[in-house]
Amino acid sequence: MVALPDNILMSAEEYLVWEPTQEERYEYWDGEVVMMSGATRNHNRVSGNFFKLLDDALGDVYDGLRLRSSEVYIVDVKVQVEPGQKYFYPDVVVTCDDRDTDLQLVQFPCLIIEVLSPSTEAADRGKKFARYRQSLTLQEYVLVQVDQPGVEVFRRNEQEKWVLSEYNFDEILPLESVDVEIAIADLYRQVQFETETTDEDA
């Protein structure tokens, strides 16, 4: 999503009461409220495809004899990145933690997905990921391109280091945090990629 600086200042407590009553969505950065704008059709399609594939895969999944409580949310559910300091809106988030009972937000994510755009890519790769990495429950952070097919996954290993893996259009994306495999091609269903215009096309 595209972040528009509005320079609105308030406490975290005020933000959590005020923000759900707004027509637009706002993130919270250390006392500053930042409005989020709409996305492109491709961005919306990729986010929706990812949500549906995960939701279908995680629905009624049993872990041994117990129903696994994995919940997938898209766009309009915020993540508490740092209590009282930072609240972000990822494109897709998954929690499998029974402690996540707050109706407004996710506090214990295991998987976060950001669909990239030119205006947000730097923040998604940089300062947002730096903050997301502080979550003790987050296991995978996924960045999805929309101008051309391509997915990057940062995984937390046993040494608590984040390791990057890259996947192309014809590959399978393994999401270890939720034990799900997704075909990259399925993420781009009905997505129209821009093609460069050549002299012969002109």
- Mean pLDDT along residues 15-19: 93
- 72 Cβ partners below 8 Å, 6+ apart? 51, 54, 55, 58, 92, 93, 94
User: Which residue's entry shows tokens 């041994």?
Assistant: 64
How far, in Å, CA of 13 to CA of 194, rounded? 43
133: left (phi over 0), alpha (psi -120 to 50) or beta: alpha
**pLDDT tens column, 141-197:** 999 999 899 999 999 999 999 999 999 999 999 999 999 999 999 999 999 887 644
Residues 66-117 pLDDT 10s = 455 789 999 889 999 988 899 999 999 999 998 999 988 999 999 999 999 8
Output the CA–CA distances (angstroms, integers) from residue 170 to 62, 184, 186, in the order listed: 29, 6, 10
CATH of domain 40-187: 3.90.1570.10
Query: Residue 197 has what pLDDT?
Result: 41
DSSP code for 197: P
Average pLDDT over residues 52-76: 76
